Amino acid sequence: MQLYIVRHGIAIDREDPKCPPDPERYLTEEGLEKTKAVAKGLASLRVSPGLFVTSPYTRAVQTAEVFADALDYSRQKIRRSELLLPGAEPTLLFRELAREKQASSIFLFGHAPHLDDVIATAVGSKKHITTLKKAGVALIELKRISPPAGVLAWLATPKMLRRVRR
């Protein structure tokens, strides 16, 4: 199984006086534009999504929707999971994903450093081996979902994926 792990795009700064509560922080215009370019870059690699699962926080949902549009995946099919919220236990997420027998590729959308925990868990590391940038993407090739056993196939910065699109 292919597991694509995507950190949300650039969101409104916490210090901005107009910043809403954390769950409602949204992508900035720059964040939307850059995330669209990243998603188009990934689409140029002919990636075929089977399932999208996102954190319920606004900025992660928006990022998932941008990727859904670029990868021709229905926004209505995007699932939300509390197991992609900051602080959630990665092993519980992998148990949930193990129920998805039909999806050969799953996209996860969430937050740092939680997604770095998910990546470390997937490859059997007790420490972070990555630091995903905003709108960065990692691909894990999973041999087993739960308990997870996988390898990091690649990690792409947003800048790399934006260049692929050209």
Which tokens hold the place of 99? 């129920």
Q: How far are the Cα atoms of 25, 69, 86, 152 from residue 13, in angstroms, in the given order?
A: 8, 25, 17, 30
**165 pLDDT more than 70:** no
Residue 54 has pLDDT above 90, yes or no: yes
Going from N- to C-terminal start, the domains of the chain cover 2-11+28-165
Q: What is the pLDDT of residues 111-132, one digit of tens each?
A: 999 999 999 999 999 999 999 9
- Per DSSP, helices labelled H in 98-134 are 114-122
Whole-structure pTM value: 0.97
Backbone angles phi, psi at 131, to 5 degrees: -140, 95
CATH superfamily of this structure's domain 2-11+28-165:
Phosphoglycerate mutase-like (3.40.50.1240)
For 151-160, write each residue's pLDDT tens digit: 999 999 999 9
**Range 35-53 average pLDDT:** 95
